[in-house]
Amino acid sequence: MDADEFRKAAHAAIEDIIQYNTNVANNTHPVLPSIKPGYLAPQLPKAAPEHPQSWQDIQPDITSKIIPGLTHWQSPNFMAFFPACATYPSILGEMYSSAFTAPAFNWLCSPACTELETIVLDWLADALHLPTDFRSDSPGGGGGVIQGSASEAIVTIMVAARERYLHRKCDAEGLPNPSPERDARIAGLRSKLVALSSDQAHSSTAKGAIIAGTFHRTVKTSFEDELAVHPDALEATLRKCIADGLEPYYITLSYGTTSTCAQDPLHLLAPVLQNYPDIWIHIDAAYAGTALVCPEYANPPEGASSTTEAMTNGTSPSSQPLQKPTGLLPQGPSILCQVDSFNTNMHKWLLVSFDASLLYVRSRRDLTSALSVSPAYLQNKHTDSGLVTDYRDWQIPLGRRFRALKIWFVVRSYGIEGLRAHIRRTVRVGEHCAKLVTESKDGKELFELVTKPAFGLTCFRIRPDAIPRALVRRSSALDANSTENVETESTMNGSPFGTVEQQDEVAQNQSKQQSLTKMQPTQAAEDLANEFSKQVVETINDQCQLFLTSSSTHGKTFIRVVSGNTNASEEYIEKAFETIVKTTRELFVKVEKEKQT
C-alpha cells in the first residue's frame, strides 16, 4: 500500500468511523450483536491469502462481517460493566501512535514517548487533586506511568510490594544482602505471604495474587456497611492471617468496587494499617477515581466525615455499622498520602479509548528495585546517567506503545472543564435512574436499591415482597428439597490455608442449611427476588437492545445500571427502566403460567 492508496483507504476508513459513531449514537445498531458463537469462521477463508488484496477487497468486510459481531460500548443502551469511552481525539492519538510505532522500553528508544508520558501523568495527578507525592518531581521520588489495564497495574504493584516486604523483613532481621541465610529466609517467607482485599474488590487482586504466587484472603463486608470494609473486619482478618502463620504484605482498598461502587473508608482503615507498616496499601480506583477531577469528589463538603467521629468514639465499634459511609476520601485526597499507590483508568469513564490506565506510586524506586533487569543490549549512557526514566522498569512488559498522545489530545480537546462536565452529566443521568427506582410508581412497587447509588451506578433488585405470593409458596416447597446439595457443598473446604472467604462460605452454607430446613416464605421470596433479578437481565440481554449486567454478593443478586458513556442520557435511561419493568412483569406472568401447566 503506497501513500496514495493509504490516503484513499484512510479517508474511506474515516467515513466508516464517522458513520459507525453516528449510527451507534443514534441507536441504529442494537447494542448487542445478534449472532451465535462461531458466526465469523464460515464467512472467512480457511487460510490466509497467498496473494495481496487491495483495500477495495478488504474494507467491505468490516461493514459486512465485523460490525455485525461487535458489542457497541458507545451505544446509549450500553449500561453493563463500566463504560469504555471512545472519542475522536483519542482515535487521532492512536493514529499518530501507530505511525510513530516504537516499543519505547527506554528513554532513548523514543524520548518524546517517555517525556510526554511523564508530563501528562503529572498534569493528571494535579487535575485529579492527588497529593503531590505522586508527581514525578516530588521530593520522595514518586511518579505516574500508563499501564494497559488496572489488572496489569495491580499485579505490577503486588510484585513490587512482595519484594519490598521480603527485603524489609530481612533488613530488619539484619540478614546480609546477599547471603545464604537471607535467601533461605526469603524462600521461607515467600510461601507464607498473603495479599488482602475486601470481598468486593475486583478480581484483579485475586488474579494478581495467583501471578505473584501468594495467598489471597478477603475482608468480609456487609450490606449494613454498604459493602465497604469495616475497620474491625480488617483488624480481625489481619489477626487471623497472623494467627495462621501468614505474612500480610499487600492490601487493595477500593474507591468504587465493580459490583456496587463501594468505597473503603481509608480514613478509618489507615489507623488500623498503621500498626502493620510493611503492608503496601494500594487504592484501586479503576472506574470511580476519574471523578476526582471534580472538586466535589476530591474535596467533599464539610460534615461528610461525620462517620469518622461516630466510628472513632464508639466503645464497641464492631457493633456499629458504617451508618453513613462517606467513601474513601471524606477528608479530601490528602488522606492518600498514607497509601503507596493509586490507579485509575481514563479508558473507562474519562474519554480516552482503551487502553490508558494511570498508575501512581509514592516511591518509584519500589517499582524499579523489583522489576529492573538490565542486560547489555538495554544499557546506554542515558540510562546510566540517571537523568531519564526507563518505564520498562515500571511495568511487566518490556516494550510499550505511545499512549500518552491520546491522553494529551483528549485532555486538550476537552479541557479539564470538559472532563468535569462529562463526569457531572453522566452522574446526573445515573441519579435519574436511581430516582426511577425509588420514586416512580413502578419502581416503588417492584424494586429496591441494594446500595446507595454512586458514580452513575445504580444497583437494585426485585423486591421480595413484589413477587406474586403464589410463586413464593411454590418455590418454598421446592427449595426445601434442595437441602441435601447444600450440605454436600458445605463440607468442601477444610484447609488451614483456606481463605477467609471460603471459611465464610462454610459458615454461610451452614446457616443457609438451617434456614432452609425451617424454610420461611420470606427466605423463599428472597431467593426468588435474586433469581428473577438475574433472569430479567438475561432476558433483556437476549433481546440485544439493551445491555445490562447482574451481580451477586452476600445473598443478593441485583441489576446494575451504569450511565457513564458519552451517549448516555435520561431518555435512554427511562426507556431502559421501562424495559426492566416490562420484563419483570412479563417474567412474573410467564412463571405463573408455567406453574399452572
- Which residues in 71-110 contact its own copies (CB under 8 A)? 71, 73-74, 81, 84-104, 107-110
> Which long-range CB contacts under 8 A does 580-584 form with residues at least 24 apart?
580/536, 580/540, 580/548, 581/442, 581/443, 581/446, 583/536, 583/539, 583/540, 584/446, 584/462, 584/532, 584/536
Nearer to its own copies, 186 or 270 (CB): 186
- Binding to its own copies, residues 136-165 (CB under 8 A): 148-152, 155, 159, 162-163
Stretch that binds its own copies, among 1-9, 219-227, 442-450, 511-519 (CB under 8 A): 1-9
- Binding to its own copies, residues 317-356 (CB under 8 A): 347, 353-355
Nearer to its own copies, 92 or 310 (CB): 92
Residue pair 558/460 in contact (Cβ under 8 Å)? The answer is yes
- With CB under 8 A as the contact rule, the residue among 313, 319, 385, 597 that binds its own copies is 385
Nearer to its own copies, 399 or 521 (CB): 399
Min separation Cβ 6 and its own copies, Å: 4
Nearer to its own copies, 277 or 496 (CB): 496
Phi, psi of 257 (to 5 degrees): -70, 165
- Using rule CB under 8 A, residue 243 touches its own copies: no
For residue 545, count other CB atoms closer than 10 A to its CB: 17
- Report angle CA 201, 202, 208 to the nearest 5 degrees: 105
Phi, psi of 254 (to 5 degrees): -105, 135
The strand order across the sheet containing 193-198 reads: 143-147, 357-361, 341-345, 280-284, 247-254, 193-198, 215-219
- Binding to its own copies, residues 174-203 (CB under 8 A): 178-180, 182-184, 187-188, 190-192, 202-203
What amino acid is encoded at 155 in this protein?
V
- Binding to its own copies, residues 497-516 (CB under 8 A): 497-498
- Binding to its own copies, residues 516-545 (CB under 8 A): 538, 541
Nearer to its own copies, 76 or 231 (CB): 76
Which residue has cell 425509588? 438
Residue pair 370/164 in contact (Cβ under 8 Å)? The answer is yes
- Using rule CB under 8 A, residue 115 touches its own copies: yes
Nearer to its own copies, 68 or 317 (CB): 68
- Alpha-carbon distance of 97 to 406, in angstroms, equals 8
Stretch that binds its own copies, among 114-122, 262-270, 327-335, 481-489 (CB under 8 A): 114-122
Nearer to its own copies, 213 or 314 (CB): 213
Nearer to its own copies, 259 or 584 (CB): 259
Residue pair 412/93 in contact (Cβ under 8 Å)? The answer is no
Stretch that binds its own copies, among 226-234, 265-273, 295-303, 493-501 (CB under 8 A): 493-501
Cell of 590: 410467564
Residue pair 149/136 in contact (Cβ under 8 Å)? The answer is no
- Binding to its own copies, residues 394-423 (CB under 8 A): 396-399, 401, 405-406, 409, 411-418
- Alpha-carbon distance of 340 to 171, in angstroms, equals 20
**SS3 for 271?**
helix
- Using rule CB under 8 A, residue 30 touches its own copies: no
- With CB under 8 A as the contact rule, the residue among 18, 242, 478, 507 that binds its own copies is 18
What amino acid is encoded at 331 in this protein?
Q
- Using rule CB under 8 A, residue 21 touches its own copies: yes
Nearer to its own copies, 321 or 498 (CB): 498
- With CB under 8 A as the contact rule, the residue among 388, 433, 528, 568 that binds its own copies is 388
- With CB under 8 A as the contact rule, the residue among 27, 132, 141, 211 that binds its own copies is 211
Min separation Cβ 298 and its own copies, Å: 15
- Using rule CB under 8 A, residue 28 touches its own copies: no
Stretch that binds its own copies, among 14-22, 315-323, 515-523, 524-532 (CB under 8 A): 14-22
Half-sphere exposure of 478 (CA within 13 A, CB side): 11
- Using rule CB under 8 A, residue 242 touches its own copies: no
CB neighbour list of residue 314: distance below 8 Å, 6 or more residues apart: 320
- Using rule CB under 8 A, residue 68 touches its own copies: yes
- Using rule CB under 8 A, residue 369 touches its own copies: no
**DSSP conformation letters of 127-159:** HTT--GGGSTT-TT--EEEEES-HHHHHHHHHH
Stretch that binds its own copies, among 34-42, 224-232, 299-307, 522-530 (CB under 8 A): 34-42
CB neighbour list of residue 250: distance below 8 Å, 6 or more residues apart: 157, 158, 161, 162, 165, 195, 196, 214, 279, 280, 282
**SS3 for 253?**
strand
